[in-house]
Amino acid sequence: MNKKTIWITGGSTGIGKALAIKFAKEGWNVAISARRENLLKETCGEHENISSFPLDVTDKNKCKEVFQNIVDTFQGVDICFFSTGTWDPKKEKDIDVEQIENVFKVNFFGTLNSIKAVEKYFKDRKSGTITIVSSIAGYRGLPNSTGYGPSKSALNNLAESLYFDFGRSNVRVCLVSPGFIKTPMTDKNDFKMPFLKTSEYAAEKIYDGLVNKNSFEIHFPKSLTTILKVLSFLPNKIYFGLIGKLTKYQKKKRSSCLKIQSSKVIFISLPLTGTNKTYSNLKAGPYEYPLALPTTSPAVPS
Ligand SMILES: NC(=O)c1ccc[n+]([C@@H]2O[C@H](COP(=O)([O-])OP(=O)(O)OC[C@H]3O[C@@H](n4cnc5c(N)ncnc54)[C@H](OP(=O)(O)O)[C@@H]3O)[C@@H](O)[C@H]2O)c1
């Protein structure tokens, strides 16, 4: 059996499912895991080289057992794609410790359990790829994200740490930072999502990044992630002021939408200093950018 094999957790819906179908179409053996066995079976029924390995990633021992099962079935695994995640926007506005623990249990520790399950195999094998799915929400702190953002930030740090560790054994560690992708997870959002893309789009970008490229981070869509990367380098005062403005404005005028070109957003982001500015010179463009810029400033922390 010479076909390559990928193990995808979070494979029952959304990005994980779309990626499973993409890899299957490219001729790979695909092992998908998640808790909802019926959904996994449905996907397997439609694609002959996708196989179901049900798993709750919060169960450490089960992660090891399932991975061994996959290795035995396919005589090896080349790529692991750990994409289990949970997000409930309604519960992220306050400090609900139990809720945050639950988010960390799935997003951070669930991913960690999965990585631990494959650690020895990949280090002995001295090749392969371990992929951690994080989020643009992990770049810097955002309002109303008391559990999800911090859990993704922790994953970013973990991925960087493991990059060195696994790198010594010639194993690639890859971080995936999607922007807004239409999936059951984001269907719960009650705000307009800029640059929203389909899960098939995400799958194409991830496949290309994993198979054809060798970079540490795969992030998309660039039109959004580039803006956020620029924002993440801003000094705290400017960052807090800008994000404060954007979210305050969005609350006030949820239905409002300013149409501007994404490239212009980058250029106007840089000179913002928390003081009043006028943005009347913005030109209409092809993208909807709902985080429209207000004309008055909220208080900026000093
Ligand atoms: N969609 C976006 O805009 C976006 C943006 C940035 C990052 N992400 C990240 O991308 C990943 C995939 O998200 P998605 O948007 O595709 O959402 P999704 O469709 O809700 O997928 C989440 C997956 O995680 C699985 N899962 C949740 N808890 C689990 C557990 N305890 N054990 C095993 N599997 C579990 C779910 O399956 P079961 O419920 O069947 O177990 C499902 O397959 C997540 O890590 C998410 O944070 C998404």
Report the nearest-CA residue for atom 7 of ligand 1.
135
Is the pLDDT at 171 greater than 70, yes or no? yes
The enclosing H or E element of 276 equals none
Model pLDDT, residue 251: 61
15 ligand 1 Cβ < 6 A: yes
| Cα separation, 228 vs 180, whole angstroms | 12
Which residue would you say has higher pLDDT here, 283 or 159? 159
Q: Which of 150, 149, 154, 136 is nearest to 231 (CA)?
A: 136
Q: 57 CB less than 6 Å from ligand 1?
A: yes
Q: So what's the pLDDT on residue 257?
A: 38
* 4-18, 157-171, 182-196, 285-299: segment of lowest average pLDDT: 285-299
Q: Which 8-state DSSP code applies to residue 233?
A: T
Percent of the chain with pLDDT over 90: 76
Q: What is the pLDDT of residue 244?
A: 87
Residue 45 has pLDDT above 50, yes or no: yes
- Note the helical H segments in the chain: 14-25, 37-46, 60-74, 97-103, 111-125, 148-167, 199-207, 222-232, 236-252, 262-269
Q: Which residue carries 């021992």 as its tokens?
A: 61
- State the closest ligand 1 atom to the C-alpha of 133, by its place in the atom list counted from 1: 45
Alpha carbon distance 280, 294 (integer Å): 11
Query: How far does residue 10's CA lie from ligand 1's centre (Å)?
Result: 5
Beta bridge partners of residue 190, listed in sequence order? none
Alpha carbon of 24 to ligand 1 centroid (Å): 19
Distance CA 56, CA 43 (A): 18
**Atom 23 (ligand 1) nearest CA:** 10
Task: Please compute the mean of the pLDDT values over residues 60-86 and round it to a whole number.
Answer: 98
Q: Residue 82 C-alpha to ligand 1 middle, in angstroms?
A: 9
Determine how many CB atoms are found less than 10 A away from the CB of residue 143: 15
Residue 156 Cβ contacting ligand 1 at under 6 Å: no
Contact status, residue 17 vs residue 43, Cβ threshold 8 Å: yes
End-to-end CA separation in angstroms for the chain: 62
Q: Is 14 left (phi over 0), alpha (psi -120 to 50) or beta?
A: left
Q: Given this model, what pLDDT does residue 292 score?
A: 33
For residue 245, what pLDDT is reported? 85
Which residue type is seen at 87?
W
Read off φ and ψ for residue 242, nearest 5 degrees: -65, -50
Q: Tell me the pLDDT tens digit for each residue of 252-273.
A: 655 443 333 333 443 333 333 2
Q: Using a 6 Å cutoff on CB, does residue 43 contact ligand 1?
A: no
Query: What are the pLDDT digits (tens) for 128-139?
Result: 999 999 999 999
Strands 29-33 and 50-52: parallel
Helical pair 222-232 and 236-252, crossing angle rounded to 10 deg:
130
CATH architecture of 5-226: 3-Layer(aba) Sandwich (3.40)
For ligand 1, is residue 42 a contact (CB within 6 Å)? no
Write out the DSSP string of 65-112: HHHHHHHHHHT--SEEEE------GGGSSS--HHHHHHHIIIIIIIHH
Domain borders along the chain are 5-226, 234-297
Mean residue pLDDT of the chain comes to: 86
Q: Which two tokens stand for residue 295?
A: 């004309």
pLDDT tens, position by position, 225-241: 999 999 999 999 999 99
Angle at 108 between CA 188 and CA 4, to 5 degrees: 95
Quote the ligand 1 centre to 12 CA distance (angstroms): 8
